[in-house]
Every structure is written in C-alpha cells, then in structure tokens.
Structure 1
Amino acid sequence: MTTRFPFAQRLRTWLQTRLQTRLQIRLTARRAILTQAARMTVASLATYVFAEALGLPQAFWAVVSALIVTQGSLGGSLKAAFDRFLGSVLGAVYGGAVALALPHQGSVSSAVALVVAVAPLAVAAAHSAGFRVAPITAVIVLLSTTGATLGPLVFALDRILEVGLGCAIGLAASLLVAPARATRAARGQAARTARLLADQFDALGRLDDAAIDAAELPLATRRSLDRLEVLVAEAARERRSRLAAEADPGPLARTLLRLRHDAVVLRRATREVDLGPDLAGPWLSAAQAAALRLRAIAAALDARGHPPAEDPALADAIAAYRAAIDERRRRHLTRDLSIDGVGQIFWIAFSLDQLRRNLDDLAARAAEGVATG
C-alpha cells in the first residue's frame, strides 16, 4: 500500500500529525480545567469512602464540603476550608443551643426559634463572608427532620464531623493531586495583565481611542487586576501556612496597578491636547517601546525567566519627545496653545518618565520571583 499509493500515505501521515497537534493544543489550553476536575473527583470519592467507613449518617454533607473546599489553588482551598469549617461549627453549635432552649413543635414556635437562630448569625455573615454558611447550618440543625429524630446535639455533632471530614480531604486533595500554587498562578495572571496593558499602549501610541473602547481594554485590565489581587491573597495564605516558599507576588500586583494608572493618565492627556506631527512621532515610539517592554516582561513571567533590566529604546524615545518640546519652545510654537495644552504636553513627558521607572520596577519584581521561586 505504501509503495503503490505514496500520496495517500503522505496525506494520512499529515492528517495524523495535524490531529495530534490540535489535540495537544486543546489539552494544554484545558489542562487547568481537567486538573481541577480530576482533583474534585478524587476528593469527592475519597470523602464518600471515608464517610461510609466511619458510619456517618449523612455522608453527602461531607462530599459537598470536599467539593466546596477543593479550589483552583492551595491558598483558595485553605480559605474555603477555614470558612466552611468555622461557619459550620458556629451554626451547628448555636442552632443546637436554640433547638434545646426553645420548643419548636408548632408553626408559630418554629418561626420564633428560626428568627432567634438566624438573626444573630445573619449579622455575623453580613460582617464577614467567612460566616455565610453559619445561618444555613443553624437552619438545618433546627428544622431538619433528621435532627428531630436524633436530637439537636447529636445531629449538630454529626454535622461538624461530616463538614470537618470533607474539609480535611478537600485540603488533602488540593495538596496531593497535582497541587496548584497561587504564587505561580499569580505570575501567569500578572503576565496576562501586562499583555493587556501592552495592547493599550499600542493603541495609545496611534492615538486611537476608538480601538481601546472597542476592545474594552480598560475593563479587561481592571478585571485581570482584580483576579490578580485574589491570587495574591491566596498566595499569602500559602506562605502563612508554610505550604509555599516562593516570593510574594504582592509587589508585582502593586506595580501593575501603577502601570494601569500610567495608562489612564496618558490616555487622558493625549486625548485633551493635539500633539501635532513633531510630538506625535516621538510619542508613538515611546508608547510602542513601552508595549514591547511589557510583552517581554510578560514572556519572562510565563517562562519564569529574567526579563531585561533596562530598555534603551524607551529612554531614547522619551529623550526624543523632550527634545521635540524644546524645539517647539525654541521656535515659539507653544504660544498658540492654551495654558492647559502646554501643561498637558509637559505632563506627558513627566508621565513617560514615571512609566519608565514603573516598567523597571516591574522587571525587578519579576526577577525576584525567579530568584526565590
């Protein structure tokens, strides 16, 4: 077959290679999703087996707790486990105490007991998100038919044991089944944020406000920074629990926040003044150099490598912009501008210097993560 139909053989080989490549790309893109699905499946199955072995009456509560606790990162699992267990203990203990103290056999007495049980815990839940599960647990202990059969104390104790088992196994699954560290996820999120900022500076250099609005780049950047802040908090929990020893991504997030502010300031300034052809060229070079620097740092964050410490192209572009301002002043061309317009031109030069310093700081923060990671 191979010798008689060489074209068919080559076509089949090409198709197989193409399909394998596309499958690898899809699996790589969905690796985090598949890993999280496997982690949750293992956690739920292990929890069910342990709950049955221990003879817990309502094993499904343990399984539900394990699924809730098994988050995308170890830091997220730590927070979910702490909130889930603390809220369940508080709700079970308080709900059991209300059930013992207040008879609730009729509709009116049950309504009164429900108010007494829920109101204080609802205040605690409104004060801290960690107590959100407490009112739910109190209601279950107070009104469940199983609680009426076993008694509120026994039912509350069973509930605490079930939730505790689910939290423990959920944490173990997060730690043992392809563990995901929040610090590493934060570096990847920082890289995505840097690329969004690079896209903004590309459009800013072209003085294309419409492209920025059409792509919703400011909103996407804000959302990316919000996600980064969540990962920074999760990474802090990992370090406090001695489960991670990598560099704190907090400085990385704060530097990116300053760079976002630089983008906002420069967009406002370039929108309010006509730079003219003599300043538009150096401004375009500076914005493009900033975008290239951001993409280089993003690539280094993804690869866990060292980004370049400095960027001569950006410094040269800023110097050229300042030289163009000096030339305008020498030729007395700024006389035709309003005071605000002149101020905006100089403000852009100041903001570009601040942008360069923030980019240098971002490169240093990215290098710190490599040194300690």
Structure 2
Amino acid sequence: MKGLALRLRIRAAWRALRNRSVALKLSVRLIVAGLLGMLVARLADLPQDYWIVIAALLVVQGSVGATLVTGRDRMIGTLFGALAGGLVALLLQPETMEERSLAVIITLGPLAVLAAFRPPMRIAPVTAAIVLLADPSHTHIVESAAYRVLEIFIGTLIGFAVSLFVLPARAHKQLVGQAAQSLRLMEDLLRHYENSFGQKPPDDRLDSLHERLRTLLAEVETTVGEVRRERANRMAEAPDPEPLARNLRRLRSDVVFIGRTLAQPMPRPVATRLSPVFEEVAETIRSHLRQAARAYETAAPPPSLADVEAALAHFSDALEQIRYQHLTQPLPTTEVGQIYALPFTLDNFQENLRDLDARIAERQSDPRRSLDKERKGDPQTGQQPQ
C-alpha cells in the first residue's frame, strides 16, 4: 500500500509539473537570457550595458511568436524614440536643465500621441526621454542615442536567440492546449444545463464557468496572432489558426444561446416530455466535445457525429409529438418561442461541431503532428496508452 501511495504521489507531481511546463520553460529561458545578456554586456563594454540585460529579459515571452512581436515592437519603438530624441537635441542643443526639460516636453508630446494610437510605439517616449536626460558630461546626446539603440538591439537579438534555441515553445502548441481546454469548459457548461432542464439553474456556477471560457478565448485570440507571426516568418507549418478561433467563438455562442433558452423554466407539460430527450442530446454533445478535445491534442482522427445526429433526430421527433398533441397551443407566445428556439440552436451546434471536426482533420494532417505525439499518455489522467 505504501508503494502504491508513493507511485500515486509521484504521478500527481509529474502531472502538476507537466501542466505547468509552459511556465517552467519560460522561467528557464528568462534565466538563460539574463545570464547571456550579462555575459555579452561585459564583453561589449558599452556605457550603459545593463540595457542589454533588460532588453533581453523583456523580449523573451511564452512562445516564439510572442517573442517576435515583442522584439519587433521594442526595436521599432527604440529606433524611433532615439531618432526623435537625437533630432530634437541637434536642433535645440540643450545645455541647462531647463533647456533639456523643454526638449523633453517637445519630444514627448508627439511621441505620446503616437504611442496612444500605435501600441508598438509605446517604448518610443521612454527611449527619447532617456536619451535627452543622459548626463552630457559622459556622452553627447546623439552618441547616447546611438548607444541606446545598439544596446537594445543586442538585447533583443539575445532574446530572439534564446527563444529559438532554449526550450523553444511554439505558439501553435499553446493554441492546441487552449482549444482543448475551451472545449472541456463548454462540456462543463452543457453538463450544468443538462442537469437543470426545466428549472432555472443557479447563476454563481454559470458565471464562473462563462468567465473562465471568455478569458480562455481571449487568450486564444492572442495566440492566433502569435501563430500567424510564426507562419509569416516560416517558423511553423501549422494550419491557418483563424478558422479554429472562429469555430470556438461560434461553439461558445451556441452554448450561450442554450443557456439563455433554459434561463427560465420550461412549461411543465413540455419539460416533462423534452427533459429526458434533451439529456440524451446534451450527453452526446458533451461526449463529442470531450473526444474532440482529446483528438485535437493528440492529432487523432475527428470523432464521429453519428451519435449526435441520432440524438438530435430523436429530439426532433419528441418536439413533433408535442406539436401533434397541441401541447403548445395554450401557451403564451414567449414560451412557444422559448421551446422552438432550442432545436434551432441545437442544429447550429451540430453544424459547428461538423466544422470543428474539419479543424481536427487539418490538425491530423499537420506534418509536425509527430512532435505532439511525443507527449504520451492522457494529459488529464496521466495514463499510458494500451
């Protein structure tokens, strides 16, 4: 028994580490970037070489795509800010503190407006201020601007190199995990609705699940941009990520519409007839989402929609029986609309699940899928394949 308990603890610890592998890898990259930046700074012997270390640490992000975007923005903003500060310094030739303060105000005004409308330029006002406020007894302002650009560029290149060669994390693999987690959250929401058909579900649990799903889909949108950056720089051969993000948004809308339809209790005669049938539909859709999440993670073939189609056909038959028995005639128009909105939403859900299967098929045909299959075992249970 002690040996079994020890193995369970080791397995649980291993799952916890694997679930936090992205954060751990980022920590290693930051450490390497800092140490390498310090080494290069010592060898370069520049006036303010600590900017090399700072730039290297700021550029390294969770994925290669995010690092490319951050590094590109930092290099452009630094160059623009240094040029603006150097130009104003050449024109005004500030010597006293009052003159330098005036030069800073003149420079920061346009740069601040530009940064407000162009987020990649946010570093430009900072660089310009550093250049103009540099101690003139050590270096000339123009020379300081040139050094600043050189230091930031060296640090940025170090960040690029570390992200590419030290435990590189591709944005596409992050997108795979985010998509699978989104599908599992939708499954949880459907389980909640399945158990509350015909009665108003509690709001606290729903609000928490919906908030988590909204946050996760916002992360998906960010990761999609990073994947596109990697694809544009020929660092990834992954499929276009936008159809997947669009499909996830539509699936979430379907879940939301189901929740709105069931937000108010169904009329009792109708709820009695539809409740067991809806439970069957919800169970099959949840099973499909669960299998789809696993298939997308492992680049496996998409699951079959046959069970979902059969359950929806059964639901349509039950609804036709309700219509045939005239159970909806005495009901108000709002309640009739509530009843017939549900099959419309479920039909949309089926179409979006079919589109999801197409995205899984694209994932299966990804030439890099073998890299993802190196992660053996179920990421949720840690069990090894039989």
Out of 197, 208, 218, the residue aligned to residue 226 of structure 1 is: 218
Q: Aligned letter for 2:283?
A: Q
- Is the alpha carbon distance of 1:148 and 1:204 closer, same or farther for their aligned partners in structure 2, counting shifts above 3 Å? farther
Out of 346, 357, 364, the residue aligned to residue 351 of structure 2 is: 357
Q: Aligned letter for 2:128?
A: A
Match of 1:91 in 2: 81
C-alpha separation between the residues in 2 aligned to 1:189 and 1:371?
19
Indicate conservation of the 8 Å contact 1:90/1:134, yes or no: yes
Match of 2:139 in 1: 150
Q: Aligned letter for 1:231?
A: T
Deviations 1:61-88 (A, max 9, x none): 1111111111110000000000000000
Out of 96, 100, 116, the residue aligned to residue 126 of structure 1 is: 116
Match of 1:298 in 2: 293
- Name the TM-score, length of structure 1 as normaliser: 0.92
Measure how far apart 1:148 and its partner are.
5.0
Match of 2:204 in 1: 213
Out of 237, 245, 264, the residue aligned to residue 253 of structure 1 is: 245
- Is the alpha carbon distance of 1:116 and 1:75 closer, same or farther for their aligned partners in structure 2, counting shifts above 3 Å? same
C-alpha separation between the residues in 1 aligned to 2:5 and 2:359?
45
Is residue 67 from structure 1 mapped to residue 57 from structure 2 by the alignment?
A: yes
- Name the TM-score, length of structure 2 as normaliser: 0.89
Q: Aligned letter for 2:233?
A: S
- Is the alpha carbon distance of 1:198 and 1:15 closer, same or farther for their aligned partners in structure 2, counting shifts above 3 Å? closer
> Segments of 4+ in structure 1 off by > 3 A?
13-23, 103-108, 208-213
Out of 67, 86, 98, the residue aligned to residue 77 of structure 1 is: 67
Measure how far apart 1:273 and its partner are.
5.4
Match of 1:136 in 2: 126
Indicate conservation of the 8 Å contact 2:193/2:201, yes or no: no
Larger deviation, residues 43-52 vs 206-215? 206-215
Match of 1:174 in 2: 163
Indicate conservation of the 8 Å contact 2:67/2:160, yes or no: yes
Q: Aligned letter for 1:29?
A: N
SS in 2 for 1:150: coil
Measure how far apart 1:19 and its partner are.
5.0
C-alpha separation between the residues in 1 aligned to 2:166 and 2:337?
58
Deviations 1:225-267 (A, max 9, x none): 0000000000000000011111122211110100111111111
Aligned residues: 361
Aligned ranges for residues 1-373 of structure 1 at < 5 Å?
11=2, 13=3, 17-18=7-8, 20-145=10-135, 147-207=136-196, 210-211=201-202, 213-214=204-205, 216-272=208-264, 274=266, 275-308=270-303, 310-372=304-366, 373=368
C-alpha separation between the residues in 1 aligned to 2:290 and 2:203?
18
Measure how far apart 1:367 and its partner are.
1.8
Query: Which structure 1 segments of 5+ residues have no match?
Result: 1-9
Deviations 1:20-44 (A, max 9, x none): 4344233323322221111111112
Q: Aligned letter for 1:360?
A: R
SS in 1 for 2:300: coil
Give the structure with the higher percent helix: 1
Indicate conservation of the 8 Å contact 2:134/2:141, yes or no: no
Larger deviation, residues 232-241 vs 289-298? 289-298
